Amino acid sequence: MRQIFAMGGGGFSMEPGNLLLDKYILELAKKEKPKVCFLPTASGDSDKYIVRFYSTYINLTCQPSHLSLFLPPTADLKSFILDQDIIYVGGGNTKSLIALWREWGLDKILQAAWENGVILAGLSAGSICWFEQGITDSIPGQLTVLQCLGLLKGSNCPHYDGEPERRPAYHRLLSQGLINPGYAADDGVGFHFVGSKLEKIVSSRPFAKAYQLAKLDGTVTETVLEPIYLGKDK
């Protein structure tokens, strides 16, 4: 089964005291101790980011590891990736992430992993990378459209409530025909895709929202999609 879990923000790196999304990801594997590999590529393989991953996931019921393209653990990256149950992609510079993945052939490897049942997950850069297009701040001072891996149709925008310039940018780019219709997520919201179908939307924050954006007769429409809150009742 092909699964992708794309988060607008949240998880261990943004909400260290709230691991609802991280635990949801682990549950998707349906294994007692799933193998979880962290890809910190978008952060330039930041040592601090890697340490934060291990300091969190070593206390969860899983087998954590990471893949650095600056210090790869093996020459056989395909076997390494296909041996995992979950790939968790961190945030950072999506443009650099895509470029490095393509140079190393990791884009094709990750697609093969997805087709073989490895769960692909991530936040921010690790969310938009799976779609055809994403709205990125990879270039300082501006939000631009980035062509991504295309495992999921349409476009994606993270941090919809956390960064106020993102909503008007998404509307403008869609109105100008520069980006395809797609989905936006507040911080703390995750889209769970099974195959190409949006199966479920969940949230680690009680009032966070998801959105579907389209263009109808030249007008941009934004439809609120209510997530399932993973915590206690409001």
Asked if residue 234 is part of any domain, the answer here is no
pLDDT, position 195? 97
Helix (H, G, I), strand (E, B) or coil at 89: strand
Report in angstroms the alpha-carbon separations of 48 from 44, 55, 67, 70, 213. Answer: 11, 10, 14, 15, 35
77 DSSP 8-state letter? H
Q: What is the pTM of this model?
A: 0.96
Asked if residue 52 is part of any domain, the answer here is yes
Asked if residue 135 is part of any domain, the answer here is yes
pLDDT, position 232? 75
Q: Is 203 a catalytic residue?
A: no
pLDDT, position 98? 97
Please, what are the averages of pLDDT over each run of 10 residues along the chain (234 residues)? 96 95 98 98 97 97 97 96 98 96 98 98 98 94 94 97 94 96 98 97 97 94 98 67
Provide the mean pLDDT of the chain. Answer: 96
Q: Which residues contact 35 (CB under 8 A, 6 or more apart)?
A: 62, 63, 65, 83, 84, 85, 86
Catalytic residue among 66, 138, 155, 159: 159
pLDDT, position 110? 98
pLDDT, position 234? 43
Range of the domain at 132: 3-229
User: 99-107 contacts: CB < 8 A, separation 24 or more?
Assistant: 100/41, 100/69, 101/41, 101/129, 101/149, 104/69, 104/77, 105/77, 106/69, 106/77, 106/81, 107/149
pLDDT, position 233? 56
What CATH number corresponds to the domain at position 16?
3.40.50.880
Report in angstroms the alpha-carbon separations of 103 from 42, 71, 106, 170, 233. Answer: 14, 15, 8, 29, 46
- The torsion angles phi and psi of 146, rounded to 5 degrees, stand at -120, 135
Catalytic residue among 13, 124, 127, 138: 124
Asked if residue 165 is part of any domain, the answer here is yes
For the chain, the domain total comes to 1
Q: Is 124 a catalytic residue?
A: yes
Asked if residue 37 is part of any domain, the answer here is yes
